[in-house]
Structure 1
Amino acid sequence: MADTYDLIVLGSGPGGYVGAIRAAQLGLKVAIVERERLGGICLNWGCIPTKALLRSSEIYHYMSNAASYGLTVEKAGVDLAAVVKRSRGVADQLNNGVKGLMKKHKITVYEGVGKLTAKGKLTVTGDKPAELEAPHIILATGARARELPFAKADGERIWTYRHAMTPKEMPTKLLVIGSGAIGCEFASFYSDMGAEVTIVEMLDQMLPVEDHEVAAFVTKAFGKQGMKILTGTGVSKIDASKSGVKATIKAKDGKETVEDFSHVIVAVGIVPNIEGIGLDTLKIGQDQRNHIKVDSYGKTNVEGIWAIGDVVAGPWLAHKAMHEGVIAAEAIAAALGKYDGHLHENRTDNIAGCTYSRPQVASVGLTEKKAKEAGVEIKVGKFPFIGNGKAIALGEAEGFVKTIFDAKTGELIGAHMVGAEVTELIQGYVVGRQLETTEAELIGTIFPHPTLSEMMHESVLASEGRPLHI
């Protein structure tokens, strides 16, 4: 006999567990199915543990440059095993936290592999097999690293992000294929920890989704740190051995060179985890990249089946997945007559992107190029870190804040930042866009002094040609 629920969530990543919690808050009887560890990739192998690693490399960077702060540090060094142990400890702590949240909200957890067998039915296979039924099922199975056919990850010399997070040894000469957020973060980490790093990007700009000025700044900053950046360049062959890797690198002009590296990190995107979950059984629609098709509430083409997070279209970010989980949970509760609040649709144009490299990168809305391509008449403001007292006092005077406004309406249509702590600052502009704030309202807002956030104000003032501190 099947166990019955109001909602079953397949996958316990950020979207899955948050959606389950919101549904439980609204009075639904909820079950969640997870094949590995509660919290999914983000909590266990992605967002959180990588930030723990980056924090260690950041502190090591400051220790190595202590003299510039009037301090003396003797024999600063790296204990890679201890760095990794701390990162895994952080992940374990948060994993236990999610377990506690499941108990608090009386959400039943099934450990095993879940598969749709019919509408409203799902089987769990594992140590404790189970048959589950519910009128609504959320698919939140996430994604995994995309591999290159000629560079299959072996965990020894060729790594995905999971291998890079728990290295058995410190790379001496590292090749990073792909310059998106994941590639840049690991390049930054290993460079700061002492590795010689080369980044290869097929497109003409590293950090391809970011504003061109931000990308150019990061390229220059990474170069100053000793990294080698090759854009418009590809890798056509990888030969790994016990002692290292030979990579065939193809330049823009077609010329190929062979270079030696100790390790390779492949960071060329993701693949949705759709295999074996029963999509074909119910004929659930997918797009050309195999992501599940959904509407703005997370509904698939099959009644009662929903999908959220990395298994649907991008941007593939944890905070987007969490928001989608809440949206879907509220819509499901409304369908069951247990929620009469406002249902809001997902707006991907208001989702911030963050890269936690050194320097950090953060953005929301349209880039200058995209705004112009859309035919929008724009006003652009820009303010450098060097003009901000707090940035100078922190010893972090490199970077800038850039804002883009509709010249006719004053609407904030894009914000782009590079420099220290911009991943914390960006939310101010996200809130502004959510509230449909105009340039005039931001100009009339008082920002505390001394803070990095003052640069946000100055950038807006600069769009009117009236910055105060440059």
Structure 2
Amino acid sequence: MVVGDASLDIDTLVIGAGPGGYVAAIRAAQLGQNVLVVDKENVGGVCLNVGCIPSKALISAAHQYESVSHASDFGIEVGEAKVNFGKVQEFKNGIVKKLTGGVASLLKANKVQYFNGEVMFINENEARVFNDQEAPRYRFKNCIIATGSRPIELKAFPFGERILSSTGALSLSEIPKSLVVIGGGYIGIELGQMYAKFGTKVTVIEGSDTILPGFDKDVSQVVAKKLKGAGVDVVTGAQAKGADATDKEVTVTYTVGDKEEKVVADYLLVTVGRRPNTDGELGLDLIGVKTTDRGLVEIDEQCRTSIPHIFAIGDITAGPALAHKAMYEGRVAAEVIAGQPSAVDYKCVPAVCFSDPECASVGLSENEAKGAGHNVKIGKFPFAINGRAMSLNATEGFVKLISDADNGLVLGAQIVGLEASNMIAEIALGIEMGATLEDIALTIHAHPTLGEIVLDAAEVALGHPIHTVSK
């Protein structure tokens, strides 16, 4: 890198090397652009370093521990299972290192320049990138902003040694004896349930009347039942008021109705949402990029901001803060810059919670479909009477297909059960391709598999189920 005031010319500047940013950078380079990607932290962003990937590694370890502990259900005799949490963390860190190293290699292989530092816009065509050693200035033709988001920190619950964000909860050196979780959304439930499997006494405090508010109640109720069976206390309709932390514990005060309650735990995990990283020294306001009152960047269907050659993707734009949404938008932005007629279409963005059992949804929910004026027909089939689910001892849950009764089009789906995160992909593809219930029912599904439950749900909606009695 060159230090000084003379501007270096590049085609595309990508700010942020998370899932959206690195995908945008690689796709732009594939399309012939000279690309520089800048990130002040680590390649891979929150998802690979302190989010999706490390959390799933710990969740998988917790599942393994639980499986060994219940091996006798399958007639397998084993000794007492024990957790070496230090080695669990080593397992997690090894996966993170391998994946982030892989992304760095992909950037290099695609001839993408990488700068570890921050960005400050000088004007709408120039930016300074800087760290402790250097501060080169770049002139760019196009820019893709992919700076992501961070956990929301509440004044009443400042992050520290005993009050944790999701980042802190993933890096504990030992399994806590007790944990309070404020927020019953997917992050709170995933991490709370993970620690509960390792033996932590967990209390979840949620403001709404149900956990996992992004899913239908019949889906969240299946997870709530599993949490209760594991000894997790879930308090809904509750408002967290404050916390008193010492060097050994934290006391959380909350109210349910007019009644004030207190709970003491080793740690408090606060998961009440995320805030877009559009503030700080970046200088979006300086160059006139329009943002909402929530700090989200306004974009059109091609991810263009109010400045046509500056694009924004991922968590800093409206919509769910999901890595796969950011990746999708990154591809679109890179292709638009290259002159291709790409545009975003959010009809089919799947959402997944890696709870136990897993939850997944795509397309319209039942209420959304009715609200949109569809004559809704539902097909619902349980895991409990699927042979593969029985053989895996994983019979909780169901597949629910939402369709239009007038033309049979599949409008959406919600799944709760083992491998829901993988099963949802078939339905997402079906919605994208305009599939009907009959298309799914006439598709031969391998036996015995969990995927057959999707077929069975379609047959229920069509009125001629084979593996259950039609009502």
Whole-angstrom distance in 2 between the partners of 1:264 and 1:377: 45
SS in 2 for 1:135: strand
> Does the 8 A contact of 1:111 with 1:128 survive in 2?
no
1:107 — aligned with what? Answer: 112
Shift of 1:303: 2.3
Whole-angstrom distance in 2 between the partners of 1:205 and 1:77: 33
Whole-angstrom distance in 2 between the partners of 1:85 and 1:118: 44
Determine which of 385, 388, 391 is the counterpart of 1:390. Answer: 388
Shift of 1:369: 2.1
1:139 — aligned with what? Answer: 145
1:461 — aligned with what? Answer: 459
Shift of 1:239: 0.9
> What count of residue pairs does the alignment treat as equivalent?
461
1:296 — aligned with what? Answer: 301
Shift of 1:376: 2.1
> Does the 8 A contact of 2:69 with 2:80 survive in 1?
no
Aligned-pair identity (%)? 37
CA RMSD in angstroms comes to: 1.1
Determine which of 408, 414, 417 is the counterpart of 2:415. Answer: 417
1:149 — aligned with what? Answer: 155
Deviations 1:335-379 (A, max 9, x none): xxxx5xxx3321223100011111111110122122223332200
Correspondence list, 1:312-331, <5 A: 312-331=317-336
> Does the 8 A contact of 2:437 with 2:462 survive in 1?
no
> Does the 8 A contact of 2:335 with 2:342 survive in 1?
no
Whole-angstrom distance in 1 between the partners of 2:437 and 2:461: 9
Q: TM-score, normalised by structure 2?
A: 0.96
Deviations 1:200-220 (A, max 9, x none): 111112101111210111111
SS in 2 for 1:5: strand
Shift of 1:231: 1.3
1:257 — aligned with what? Answer: 261
1:124 — aligned with what? Answer: 129
Determine which of 165, 174, 178 is the counterpart of 1:169. Answer: 174
1:449 — aligned with what? Answer: 447
Question: 102-111 vs 287-296, which deviates more?
Answer: 287-296
Whole-angstrom distance in 2 between the partners of 1:328 and 1:453: 34
Residues 1:202 and 2:207 aligned together: yes
Whole-angstrom distance in 2 between the partners of 1:102 and 1:31: 10
Question: 69-78 vs 7-16, which deviates more?
Answer: 69-78
> Does the 8 A contact of 2:438 with 2:462 survive in 1?
no
Determine which of 378, 401, 404 is the counterpart of 1:403. Answer: 401
1:60 — aligned with what? Answer: 65
> Does the 8 A contact of 1:315 with 1:348 survive in 2?
no
Code of the residue aligned with 1:139 in structure 2: it is I
Shift of 1:291: 0.8
Shift of 1:258: 1.4
1:7 — aligned with what? Answer: 12
Whole-angstrom distance in 2 between the partners of 1:452 and 1:109: 43
1:427 — aligned with what? Answer: 425
SS in 1 for 2:342: coil
> Does the 8 A contact of 1:201 with 1:231 survive in 2?
yes
Whole-angstrom distance in 2 between the partners of 1:375 and 1:385: 30
SS in 1 for 2:282: coil
1:246 — aligned with what? Answer: 251
**Unaligned stretches of 5+ in structure 1?**
none
